[in-house]
Amino acid sequence: MTPMRQVTLTSDDFGKIRFRLVWELAAQLDAAREADKQGHPDLKLGDGWREQAEETRRLIRELDKA
């Protein structure tokens, strides 16, 4: 097994990671709204999308604390 490398993240790195998480959360919520507006069963999001969105929110909060 390859040993893990330790890396140091800068505040710029945290900003980029946070931006990506916020972007992903917005995409998840937009998809949910669109599926709800359409009302078509094939457009409904799969189970677990709410949990994914909440996990993304949790990660954003953790980054904000760092």
pLDDT in tens, 6-17: 878 788 888 888
The model's pLDDT over 16-55, given as tens digits with 9 standing for 90+, comes to 888 888 888 888 888 777 777 777 665 556 667 777 778 8
**What is the number of domains present in the chain?**
1
Distance CA 49, CA 44 (A): 10
Examine residue 18 and state whether it is found in any structural domain, yes or no. yes
User: Which residue segment(s) compose the domain that 43 sits in?
Assistant: 11-65
Closest CA to 51 of 25, 18, 22: 25
Helices 11-38 and 49-65 pack at an angle, to 10 degrees, of 160
Examine residue 31 and state whether it is found in any structural domain, yes or no. yes
Task: Give per-residue burial for 32-65: e unless 16+ CB within 10 Å, then b.
Answer: eeebeeeeeeeeeeeeeeeeebeebeebbeebee
Could you tell me the pTM of the whole model?
0.58
Examine residue 3 and state whether it is found in any structural domain, yes or no. no
